[in-house]
């Protein structure tokens, strides 16, 4: 299957369905190489439009792009919590609160009488950010949300989908991030043991 044009190139553990859009949105910032798609207005507009989060006829303002970056990092923090980090209080999620507080929703009747809740069209980026929250809400209900996580490597924090049977995956890639952190922790434990044996602790 061909990846959508907005999907980040290095997603080795892609999320299913619409949740992949949330994953790719978080991965617009790549800590490992120091790039941020949403930092440059032109690049951000192209990505947001391709992802269907921005009206093609309306340019996002600098303030909207700041909000989008803040929303992204708060979603990343939620993904870290999915991976075992501390749960966040509402006070730690001001951007997500702003998007939900300003939400305008409408009911839509679909085929077979299915009732959907959709973002009401808005001129700016608000509707697109709200649609991400609605995808998260749906994933929380169907049980896929807790499998979307952020890598436990502080220098990485890449969003990945944990397909392991145990649901205990902690790294976007075991060969790079996982082994690096495990080796670092092993060296720290050995150093601590050596210092204790030498009577330095």
For 109-152, how does the pLDDT look when each residue is reduced to its tens digit (9 = 90+)?
888 888 887 777 555 798 899 999 999 999 999 999 999 999 98
Q: Residue 98 sits in a domain of what CATH number?
A: 1.10.3300
pLDDT tens, 46-72?
999 999 999 888 899 999 999 999 999
pLDDT tens, 10-32?
566 899 999 999 999 999 999 88
Q: How many CB atoms lie within 10 A of CB 97?
A: 13
Distance separating alpha carbons of residues 150 and 83, to the nearest angstrom: 7
Q: Is the pTM of this model over 0.75?
A: yes
Q: Tell whether 60 is covered by a domain.
A: yes
Q: What is the mean pLDDT of the chain?
A: 84
Q: Tell whether 6 is covered by a domain.
A: no
Q: Tell whether 184 is covered by a domain.
A: no
Q: How many domains does the chain have?
A: 1
Q: Give the single-character DSSP code of 11.
A: -
Distance separating alpha carbons of residues 17 and 15, to the nearest angstrom: 7
Percent of the chain topping pLDDT 90: 55
Contact 48, 193 (CB under 8 A): no
Say yes or no to pLDDT of 99 above 80: yes
Helix, strand, coil content of the chain in percent (nearest 5): 50, 10, 40
Compute CA 197 distance to the chain's CA centroid, rounded to the nearest angstrom.
44
Q: Tell whether 13 is covered by a domain.
A: no
How high is the pLDDT of residue 115? Answer: 86
How high is the pLDDT of residue 60? Answer: 92
Q: Tell whether 89 is covered by a domain.
A: yes
Distance separating alpha carbons of residues 164 and 18, to the nearest angstrom: 20
Q: Tell whether 25 is covered by a domain.
A: yes
How high is the pLDDT of residue 105? Answer: 79
* Strand 29-30 with 35-36, pairing: antiparallel
Q: Which two tokens stand for residue 2?
A: 């061909």
Nearest-5° angle of CA 39, CA 151, CA 60?
20
Q: Tell whether 149 is covered by a domain.
A: yes
Q: Tell whether 43 is covered by a domain.
A: yes
Domain that holds residue 88: 19-170
> Residue range 172-190: average pLDDT?
54
DSSP 58-106: SPPPHHHHHHHHHHHHHHHHHHHHHTTSPPPPGGG-HHHHHHHHT--EE
């Amino acid at each position: 299957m061909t990846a959508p044009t907005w999907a980040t190139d290095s997603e080795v553990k892609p999320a299913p369905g619409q949740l992949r859009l949330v994953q790719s949105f978080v991965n617009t910032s790549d800590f490992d190489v120091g790039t941020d798609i949403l930092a440059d207005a032109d690049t951000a507009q192209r990505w947001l439009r391709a992802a269907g989060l921005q009206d093609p006829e309306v340019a996002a303002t600098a303030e909207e792009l700041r909000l989008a970056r803040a929303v992204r990092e708060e979603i990343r923090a939620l993904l870290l919590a999915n991976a075992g980090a501390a749960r966040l209080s509402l006070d730690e999620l001001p951007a997500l609160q702003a998007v939900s507080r300003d939400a305008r929703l409408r009911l839509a009747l679909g085929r077979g009488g299915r009732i959907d809740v959709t973002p009401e069209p808005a001129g700016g980026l608000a509707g697109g950010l709200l649609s991400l929250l609605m995808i998260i809400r749906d994933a929380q209900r169907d049980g896929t949300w807790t499998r979307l996580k952020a890598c436990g490597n502080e220098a990485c924090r890449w969003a990945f989908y944990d397909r392991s049977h145990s649901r205990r995956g902690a790294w976007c890639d075991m060969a790079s991030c996982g082994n690096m952190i495990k080796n670092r922790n092993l060296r720290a434990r050995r150093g601590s043991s050596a210092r204790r044996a030498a009577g330095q602790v």
